[in-house]
Each structure stands twice: as C-alpha cells, then as structure tokens.
Structure 1
Amino acid sequence: MAALPLDAWHRARGARMVPFAGYHMPIQYDGIIAEHLWTRSSAGLFDVSHMGQLLLSGEGVDQALEALLPGDMQALGVGRLRYSLLLNEEGGILDDLMVTRRADDFYMVVNGATKYDDIGHLREHLADDITLNHLDDQALLALQGPKAVDALARIQPAVAQLYFMEASAFELAGVPAWISRSGYTGEDGFEISVAAEHAARIADLLCDQPEVKPIGLGARDSLRLEAGLPLYGHDLDETTTPMAADLGFALSKRRREQGGFMGADRVLGEWPAGAPLRRVGLLVDGRQPVREGATVVDAGGRDIGRVTSGGFSPSLERPIAMAYVPAGLAAAGTPITLSQRGRAFAATVAPMPFVPTRYHRKGAAK
C-alpha cells in the first residue's frame, strides 16, 4: 500500500487507516455518523489525493476527447466542469470522471482505483499529438458542506464568486491552487488541487477554521449514497451502460444526434427507451441495512437484480440502497423484495437523491 501526502497528518489526528485503491486512507476520526452529520451541517475536509489528476493538451484535444467520451467537450467553456464517462467499445463504463476546460488544456479527475488503466486507455486511443500528463505530485482535498464557503472564503475571498461546476486558479496563503466548486457529497463545496509538498499546510489552515473538521472515507461513502451518486467499481463497471446506470444526462443532445464516441452504437441504441436493468434508489423497511451483494428477487424467489450500494442513512435515520432492477420495476413507489443471507427484506423504489442536494447553482433562488 502506498502512502498519501497527508498520511502522517491523518495519523497524528487519530485517524483509523484502511487499505483503499492501493493506498492507506483514513476511514474515520470521531465516528462515521458524527462525521457525516458534521458535514451536512457545517464543513468537512476529505483527502481525495488517491484520485488521478491528469492534464491533456494539444491541437484539437477537445475533438480527440469526444472520440472517447460521450460529453460535449467542444462546447465546454473555459473554467467549466463536466461530468463524463470513459467508455469501452461495447458502451460499458470504464470510469466516471470530471473534465474541466482550462485556458490551454483539459484537467481531468479520474477514480483512484482505475487511474492507471484510464491513463493506459487514453494513451492507446488518443492521437500521438495529444499530450497526457499525470499530476502525481499534486494532492487533492475536498471541502464539503453548507459552511465550506465561509471557511474557504476567509482564506481566499474570491472563491465565493464561483458557482457549482466552475473552477479557476487561486492562491491560498501564497500557495498556488486549482479550485473547483464541486464535490461528491451532494453539498456545496470545493475541490482543491495543490502541490503535495504544501498539502499539510493547506489542510492545517482549513482545519483551523471553526467550521471545518477532517472527515474519513466512511462518511464520504454514506454522504454520496444519500446524494444518489454512484461509486465506480460498485454501482458502475465495464459491463454497465450509461442508460442502465441512469446517467443519460452525460450524453449531450449533439452527441446523441451525431454519435462518434466509443461504444456509441450500443449506448444510442438504448436511448431513449433505456436498458433492461436500471439503477434505482431503494428505501428499505426496518432498521437493518442491506449491503452490496444482496439480490433483488421476484415472487418465486428467483434473482432478477442486485444491490450495488447500501447502508444506514444518518440523515434519514433509516436504511437506503441502490440496486439494478428490471425496467418494469424501476418506477418510484414500486415494491421490491431483497434477499440477503437467506433473509427477505421489503423495499420501495425511491427517487434519488435521497437527501436534497445543496449545490450553489447560478441563478438558483436564494
């Protein structure tokens, strides 16, 4: 297992470290439920330096990326982010990622467990005149929660001018940083890329703010589950298509009409009718969580789907889950039966997110 730039920083604060995506990472400090609720009410600092940070540049890089991603890269403005998908030739999802157009290049954040495979795939399929740099000397911090802007703006007031899915270069106490107003908790917040050598200083500066506490992987998982956000390797994999995963929004109108991206035949063949199995949210009866690996069963007890994420929602104080179910059972309000270790659980299909998101969107009502 490799060590993150903040490994000693986490251990000095009493973090319980666990293996994740090839790294030792903090799963909790004060307890998952306490950290979850703190993030929902104030601001939590997450170390996501295991993620892959890439820069892609060269003549026509936006068009080159469109050969692999189903998103509209050519229409993406400078300083704007877009969620997209890296697809294989069968339309399966190799990874989900965030792409930002900067003045002279594209900045891409990919999942930690898949980053080296992603880099290999990109280098294999992009033209030789497209340059790909892996920023393995950069740390990545996520400051999330309704008071994240108060804490960060105290250090750099200009960040308050960003809206959701916007990014720019800033300085934090003299340290160059690339900051986006984004995250994976459903809350307002920021992702902050800084040189690894400065990560501990910036983490200290943020945690010196009264709104901020360090938060571990455990709460990050329960927060993203409440927000209805899929986790690659669990809710998404290379056999899953965008339509099955309920990620059709990642296909822009122009790309749906023109195609031209890897896996387009299958992906567009499922538009707009959908895939045979669909990712849905579930409210589970009772108090016991149903975990990944449980099955969706029909009246005869036959397996017809699978649970891909599940746990106890600290905000709702009840179990929730995500599952792939037959299309005919995907409507909100549909009763679902789950089987876990030979025991049946009753559940109901529910709209996602389970907890309303609070992104700072341009033009949103105050």
Structure 2
Amino acid sequence: MAREPVPCAVRAAVALQAGDVQTDLARPGVAVIDVVFPQAGAVGMLCDVDEVMAIRMILRQPSPVWLHFTIEELQIYPRGQESPQKDFQSWLSHLTSQEQPENLHGDGLKQTPLYDFHQQHGGKMVPFAGWSMPVQYTHSHLESHMHTRQHCSLFDVSHMLQTKVFGRDRVKFMESLVVGDIAELKPDQGTLSLFTNEKGGIIDDLIVTSTSEQHLYVVSNAGCSDKDLALMQTRAQELRAAGSDVHLEVWENALLALQGPSAVRVLQAGVSDDLAKLPFMSSAVMDVFGVPGCRVTRCGYTGEDGVEISVPARRVVELAERLLDDPDVWLAGLAARDSLRLEAGLCLYGNDIDETTTPVEASLVWTLGKRRRAAMDFPGAAIIVPQIKEKPKHKRVGLMSTGPPIRQHTRILDLEGQTVGTVTSGCPSPCLQKNIAMGYIKSEHSKVDTALTVEVRKKNYSALVTKMPFVPTRYYTIK
C-alpha cells in the first residue's frame, strides 16, 4: 500500500542548516533554502550558478550525503529568480515518501537513554537508522573534529546492536557467519570481522570479543541491526536443531565512545584497573566512576586512542555527566564522527562496503583469518579467497583532490577522460586542509600516486591515489 506524501515547508535561508557546512556557502550567486520535514529536523538545500543542485539529506545516513540533480529537473533557480514552490514541494514530497519512509515521522524514531541529555546539552537531533541522534552540539563540526584529535570527545553510540552469544558451540556459531579467526582469540580479546554472504558480499562489519565470562560480545551497526539479528537468530536455530549449544541475548546496555589522546587519562581517574595494561582491541569489565559492571573495550571509530564503554542504561546519564566534568571532554555527534573515521581510512557500511563488495575489493583482506582462508570455511570463501591472488577488477582506494570537495557518487576518471571508478565517501579534511575521499577504481589504476581526475559539477579536477589512513592512527599497543 502506497505511503501518503509527506508535506514539507520550504523557506529561504542564509546558510545551510546541516551542521557541518560553513555559512560562507551563502555567497553571491548561490541560493540556499532550508527545507523542514515534520518532526524530522532541517535539510539544507544549496543551488549554485553551475546549474547543479546539491541536497544534503540528514535522514538515514550517519552523515550527510550529497545527491545531484539539474536545476531544470527541479525548476530551482539561483537567488534573485523565482522558484516555483509548488513543483518543488511536490517533488520533495515524492522523494520523502518513496526514498526515506522509515525515518521521517518523529513518533517512529527510537531514542537512546541519552536523548534528553543530548537536548539539554544543545544537541541538534537528526534521524539516523531509525534513531534520533545528535549530529553536533554547540561547537561547530570543525571545532568538534579538531578537539577530538587534540583532546577527547564523548560520543553516544547506544544505537549500535550489542549481542551476547552463549553456549559451548558459540565459536563454531560465529565462525559459520564471519571471516575472522574467533577460535584463536585470547580471553577478553576482540577483532574486527565481517559477516559475508555466499556471493562474497559484506553483510556488515562488526567487532567480536571473546570474553572471560564464557560468552562472545558482538557489536554491529545500527543500520544493519535488523538483518544482523535475523541472520544470527536463524543460524543459531539451525545449529540448535542439529544438536549444537548456542543462544543469543540482545544486550540493552547503553554504549559510550570516549575518543582522543586524553581519553585514557580521563577514564583512568575513574577506574581502579591499570589502563596501560589494556591494549587496542582488548576488553575488561570494571567499575567506572562508581558505575559497576561496565565493559570497557579499547577501540573506536576515529583513528585515535580511546575506549567504548558498555554501561547499564539506567546509569549512563550519570556516567556521561561525570566524564564531562573533565574540561578536556567535549560532546561530539555524527558529523565529527564521520569526518574522523574518513581521515582514519575507516569504512562506513552502506557507503564504502555493502553486499555487492567483497573483503578483497574493499581492501579488507587483513580481516580474513589465515586459518579461515586455508580452510575456506566461511560464507563466500569460494569467491573471496581466489580474489586474493587473482586480484579483483576494482578495489577501494584513498584519494586526494584539488578543487571543490568530492562527495559520494562523484565520478573518477583517468587522464584520458575515461571513467575508472566512483567515490563512496568524501569530505574536506580538517586536519590536512585538503579534500580527501575513498572510492572504488579499476585495479590497474589503484597504485598509490596514480594521477587521476574527478568530475565535480561538470568540471574535472586533479586527484591522486593516496595511501590510507590519511592521518596517522594512534591505536595503543603494549611495547
């Protein structure tokens, strides 16, 4: 049954309201419009003289994504000319009803236990993956990004799916779904792994920790939570029917990420455990500032040293407030998290990896356990393992470019003007003051320092294949 169109208001504005876009976009020759959906916040609309309209949609994505249309198609004109609002509003209503059905109604959005806390601290809430999440707070995106790199920031990541896997066959269960070597994990050691399908595509990326409490602790993406849970439940049922001992528990804890060079100093003041003995991708249960039963994992999505803290939901506000007592700690939202992960060369599911990309194409061969490669006993192994030697037709690479920032779907061309790939994520790097991106290109063009061009608004700009991460990562290891 067709969903009714969603009405939306359109009004002129002096700047984009997307949070991480600087106000100088409202320059002569550019019309900036603010589009407001009922109970779903603002969506910035930019129309420029190059006859390209860019729509920054903060709806389902974890960060804004640019989509491009010609002005003639939408009948939107630069400032000083009339804009037929009726046609514009009709098109927007069609888009929202057809493309973004799940997240437009405020009453359908989930809230983390920190929802009121975010609003009290000036969080700008946007729909993301069915949740109402802060895109930023009182500081600008740039300030928040740089503060994380120089000090530390606190992120609410409670929307992510946390699952416990119990039973004597829990490792057998997990290895039937992922590419990693779970059997060789030491107690309280974790690894980044991938759910794959029989065609070799990536269903999701996740962190699996083998705990000393005789269960696996799994953290996976909010946007994939429904399919991830269905995948795990179905497989667990199949194994139980065959006599295996495995069962799942969705953990309703909140999840905080404290990221940046000051993060461990801040946390150490509130725990008795020596965090110097907790290396990257290791985990421990401890009291944190008086909150018992928190699982602290030294990991994150920024490239910085830091931790993720799984905390009982009823105590998470208390813990967040206590962490904020340290002046080095700022709150940060989705906008900073996205630019930080891109500088660190980390994939965003749905943009940079999905069920049509293999781990080899995605330059994630390192996630494949050596024993698992030899046994070829994970989903899609018959396709994935041969690609390691044969090399795929295209692969994920980093790019730096001149000219305007490059965004998702930007075309990548060789020096003869032939299309050789597509950008999957891109932004101006706050740290490097350069345009950075990642995307998929034909393998013969994937060598570092290969000169290419990117097409932005019907103009070509120089680009260079660049080694990732774009900025050095600071993951903590014990020497």
* TM-score bucket of the superposed structures, by smaller chain: over 0.9
> Which residue number in structure 2 is paired with residue 16 of structure 1?
124
TM-superposed deviation, 1:305: 1.2
> Which residue number in structure 2 is paired with residue 4 of structure 1?
112
Equivalent residues in 2 for 1:311-350, closer than 5 Å: 311-350=427-466
Q: Aligned pair 1:80/2:195, yes or no? A: no
> Which residue number in structure 1 is paired with residue 215 of structure 2?
105
Match of 1:310 among 426, 432, 441: 426
Query: Once the two structures are superposed, what CA deviation does each residue of 1:52-79 show, in whole Å capped at 9, x if it has no partner?
Result: 0000111221122111111111101111
> Which residue number in structure 1 is paired with residue 261 of structure 2?
146
User: Helix, strand or coil: the match of 1:267?
Assistant: helix
Q: Aligned pair 1:222/2:222, yes or no? A: no
Q: Residues of 1 paired with 2:290 and 2:144: CA distance?
A: 30
Task: Kindly indicate whether the alpha-carbon contact (under 8 Å) linking 2:145 and 2:336 is maintained by their aligned counterparts in 1.
Answer: yes
Q: Residues of 2 paired with 1:261 and 1:217: CA distance?
A: 33
Task: Kindly indicate whether the alpha-carbon contact (under 8 Å) linking 1:33 and 1:219 is maintained by their aligned counterparts in 2.
Answer: yes
Aligned residue-pair number: 361
Determine what percentage of the aligned residue pairs are the same residue. Answer: 42
Task: Kindly indicate whether the alpha-carbon contact (under 8 Å) linking 2:270 and 2:290 is maintained by their aligned counterparts in 1.
Answer: no
Q: Residues of 2 paired with 1:229 and 1:272: CA distance?
A: 24
TM-superposed deviation, 1:159: 4.8
Select between 107-116 and 59-68 the one with higher mean Cα deviation: 59-68
TM-score in terms of structure 2 length: 0.74
Match of 2:469 among 353, 360, 365: 353
Q: Residues of 2 paired with 1:337 and 1:3: CA distance?
A: 42
User: Helix, strand or coil: the match of 2:142?
Assistant: helix
Equivalent residues in 2 for 1:1-366, closer than 5 Å: 1-29=109-137, 30-103=139-212, 104-126=214-236, 127-128=239-240, 129-135=245-251, 137-160=252-275, 161-175=277-291, 176-286=293-403, 288-299=404-415, 301-363=417-479
Whose radius of gyration is greater, 1 or 2?
A: 2
Select between 330-339 and 36-45 the one with higher mean Cα deviation: 330-339
Q: Residues of 1 paired with 2:439 and 2:451: CA distance?
A: 13
Task: Kindly indicate whether the alpha-carbon contact (under 8 Å) linking 1:167 and 1:178 is maintained by their aligned counterparts in 2.
Answer: yes
The amino acid across from 1:321 in the alignment is: A
TM-superposed deviation, 1:173: 2.8
User: Helix, strand or coil: the match of 1:53?
Assistant: strand
TM-superposed deviation, 1:347: 0.6
Task: Kindly indicate whether the alpha-carbon contact (under 8 Å) linking 1:296 and 1:306 is maintained by their aligned counterparts in 2.
Answer: yes
User: Helix, strand or coil: the match of 1:155?
Assistant: coil
Q: Residues of 2 paired with 1:12 and 1:323: CA distance?
A: 38
Task: Kindly indicate whether the alpha-carbon contact (under 8 Å) linking 2:393 and 2:443 is maintained by their aligned counterparts in 1.
Answer: yes
Task: Kindly indicate whether the alpha-carbon contact (under 8 Å) linking 1:144 and 1:183 is maintained by their aligned counterparts in 2.
Answer: yes
TM-superposed deviation, 1:314: 0.4
Select between 266-275 and 164-173 the one with higher mean Cα deviation: 266-275
User: Helix, strand or coil: the match of 1:83?
Assistant: strand
**Higher RCO structure (Cα 8 Å, ≥6 apart):** 1
Task: Kindly indicate whether the alpha-carbon contact (under 8 Å) linking 1:290 and 1:310 is maintained by their aligned counterparts in 2.
Answer: yes
Q: Residues of 2 paired with 1:341 and 1:107: CA distance?
A: 46
Task: Kindly indicate whether the alpha-carbon contact (under 8 Å) linking 2:173 and 2:235 is maintained by their aligned counterparts in 1.
Answer: no
Task: Kindly indicate whether the alpha-carbon contact (under 8 Å) linking 1:80 and 1:166 is maintained by their aligned counterparts in 2.
Answer: yes
Q: Which runs of 5 or more structure 2 residues have no equivalent in the other structure?
A: 1-108
* Cα RMSD after superposing both structures: 1.2
Q: Which runs of 5 or more structure 1 residues have no equivalent in the other structure?
A: none
The amino acid across from 2:255 in the alignment is: L
Task: Kindly indicate whether the alpha-carbon contact (under 8 Å) linking 2:209 and 2:218 is maintained by their aligned counterparts in 1.
Answer: yes
